[in-house]
Structure formats: C-alpha cells, structure tokens
Amino acid sequence: MSEDVDAEFLGQEGLAVTGKARMEAAYGSGDGDEKLTAQVSQSSVVGGTIFEQKYRPWRGELNPRWMRNWSILRHHLLGIVKKGHKPWGWPLRLALLSCFFVAMGDLSLAFLGTVIGDSDIYRLFGVSRGNLYGHVLGFFPRNAICFPVITALLIGGMISDDRRHGTSAVYFSRPINRRDYTAMKFISIAIILGLLIVGTLVLYYVGDIVMRGEGWAWLIDTFPAFLLAALAGSILVFTYTSIGLALSSVSQGRFFPAVAFMAIILGSKLLAFLVWQLFERSVIYLISPYDVVAHIGQSLLGLSSDYSHPWTWSLVSMLLMNAAALYVLTSRIASMEVSRE
C-alpha cells in the first residue's frame, strides 16, 4: 500500500478505494495470510417474549340487575378510600377529613366539659334538642362551609365527567337502564353526605351516651329528638344531592356545577337575608334551600322558629325544589348519548 494515499475506507486509514478494497469489503477476499480474527456486529435483539395473540372465549354467567347496580355504587363509594375505583381527587378526601373533624367538634367539647367537670361547657355542646338540630342544620360552620363544599366537590364531576369523557357509552351500551344509573349516582352521593351529616350525628349521640353513661330515662327522653334530627339531616342530604346532581347533569365540566351549587345555597341565603333586613319579611327565605330545610327541622324538633311564616310553606318549597331538580336530572340523563355528545 502506498504511503501517500490520504483516504479512509471501512475504518482503515490509508486504504484507497480501489478495486481490491471493494473486493475485500464485499467478499472478504485477501491473499489468504490475514490475521484470523473477525469483528462482527452484535445483534440489537437481546431476547424477549414473542407476542402470541390467541382468542380466549369466556363461558361465564352474568349476574342480575342488582349486582350491576351494586357495582356502580361500589365504584363510587370505594373510590374515596381505594385506588382502582372512581378516582376522587385529594381535595375531596382532605375536605371530607376536615369536615369530619369539624362535625365531631361538638362531641369533643362535650367530652372536654365532662372530663373537667364543667357543666356549662357540657350544656353548650352536649346532647339536647337544640344541639341535635345544630349538629345537622346549624349554619356556621356546617352549612356555611362544610356541607356545601363537600357536596360541591362530590357532585362536580359526578355526571358531567360521563358527558365530558363519553363514559356514558360504557354504561348505556350495557344492560344498565337510565333509572338505575341515576338512582345509583344519587345514592352514592347521598351515602357519602349521609355518613358525614347523619353518620356523625349518630356518633355524637352514641358517644355522649357512652361518655356519660346515660340511663334509660335519658334515652327515652332524647331518642325521639335524635330520630327527628336524623330525619331533618336526611332531608338536607336529599335536597343537597338532588340540586347538586341536577347541576352536574347539565354540564360537561366540574367547575360550573360546583360553583353553581355554592352560589345557589349561599347566594339565596344571602339574598334572603338582605331582603329580610330591609323589609323584615321572612317569606323570602322560601327561595333558600338551606333555610327551608332548617325551618322544617326547627318545626320537627319543636324549637322556636327563626322564621315568621308557617313551616308548611317551607315544606312545600322544599318539595318543589326537589321536584324541579329531579325533573332536570332525569330529563338530562334521558338525553345522554352512547355516541359523542
């Protein structure tokens, strides 16, 4: 090989692209006296699994309607505590925990009063008709912040997410009818709200009995009030759920139903309060969902009323509000598509 060749070919410097070099590149031909080593490229395939696509039939039995409905309920309820079900966000979980502690505040303070022997503290926070009412229908902080915020977070994406993601197709292309779908969504929300509102009432009542070792006479005296407070709490849960879900069903986003719910609950209360301040007519409170339920609750528990109009008006208003909300909810769900909306 001549020394003056300025060339590189196949990694070999000084090797001119001659016919011979081409021959070597192509066939590895030489004079037969080369060094007996060879460089080979390494395969990029280092092993793996061959994908074999094989159709596997399924011969199982499908369970009846109640099992399908249970799966919807389970999906929404277990999502609060477990992965793999409805992915509720961390703000809801945090808010639920905070509101639970707030809701149990009266029991904690009653316990404090009992432990330190201060009867005034116990009178303020222990079980009584007024405090049972206050546990479910007290305005601040429960119905001013806790319960509306939790409801807003719960209903925000409950039905609107199905519209936005098209997941309604997964429900309605299966043997789920719209009544069951609506009912299960409703019950899911109502159970979570119910656990927070009525469930903590039960804890409060039972906790007080255990804490103070109350006897039968006390139980007979307070149990009817407890049941009526639980009933008032259930009416609150139903009303908040029906209004909230109706708002969720008319939207494709989470923000609108949540904000609209807060606006309806707190806005109507504020408006009624301002009108009442000006004209001293409590009838305007009939537009406020919270106030109509609170008025019914006060009447059920035999407490002195904050409102000057008859409680039956509030009952009618509550029924009308729920009827309107359920009408909107069912008609919107009836129009949900299996194809894109």
Among 12, 29, 108, 173, binds other proteins (CB under 8 A): 173
340 interacts with other proteins by CB under 8 A: yes
Region near other proteins per CB under 8 A, out of 14-22, 81-89, 141-149, 288-296: 81-89
Considering only residues 132 through 171, tell me which ones interact with other proteins, judged by CB under 8 A. Answer: 161, 165-171
The values of phi and psi at residue 194, to 5°, are -65, -40
Binding-site member from 27, 55, 90, 140 for other proteins (CB under 8 A)? 55
Of 26, 38, 50, 62, the one binding other proteins by CB under 8 A = 62
Q: Closest CB to other proteins among 66 and 216?
A: 66
**27-35, 59-67, 120-128, 285-293 -> range binding other proteins (CB under 8 A):** 59-67
Which CB, 12 or 63, lies closer to other proteins?
A: 63
User: How many whole angstroms separate alpha carbon 101 and alpha carbon 91?
Assistant: 15
Helices 178-194/65-78 angle, 10° precision = 40
Angle at CA 132, nearest 5°, toward 127 and 136?
A: 145
Q: Interacting stretch for other proteins, rule CB under 8 A, among 175-183, 195-203, 234-242, 284-292?
A: 175-183
Q: Which of 189/284 has CB closer to other proteins?
A: 189
CB atoms within 10 A of CB 71: 13
Distances (CA, A) of 98 to 29, 93, 103, 192, 220: 82, 9, 9, 14, 33
Question: What is the size of the binding site for other proteins (CB under 8 A)?
Answer: 40
Site string (224-263) toward other proteins, x via CB under 8 A: ----------------------------------------
Residue 90 binds to other proteins (criterion: CB under 8 A): no
Binds other proteins by CB under 8 A, chosen from 33, 41, 44, 58: 58
Q: Which helix (H) or strand (E) holds 205?
A: helix 200-212
Residue type, 313: W
Cβ neighbourhood burial of 93 (10 Å; 0-12, 13-18, 19+)? middle
Q: Which of 14, 91, 175, 310 binds other proteins (CB under 8 A)?
A: 175
* Helix-then-strand count for the chain, H and E: 16, 2
Which member of 27, 51, 90, 140 binds other proteins (CB under 8 A)? 51
Instruction: Name the E strands within the chain.
Output: 8-9, 12-13
The alpha carbon of 185 is separated from its chain's Cα centroid by a whole number of angstroms, namely 10
Nearer to other proteins, 35 or 83 (CB): 83
What would you measure as the largest C-alpha separation in the chain, in angstroms? 119
Cα distance between residue 341 and residue 337, in whole Å: 6
Nearer to other proteins, 172 or 218 (CB): 172
Chain CA centroid to CA 82, Å: 12
Binding of other proteins at residue 57 (CB under 8 A)?
yes
According to the binding rule CB under 8 A, does residue 174 interact with other proteins?
yes
Q: Which helix (H) or strand (E) holds 36?
A: none
Give the interface with other proteins as residue ranges (CB under 8 A). 51, 53-60, 62-65, 67-68, 71-72, 74-75, 83-85, 87, 161, 165-177, 338-340
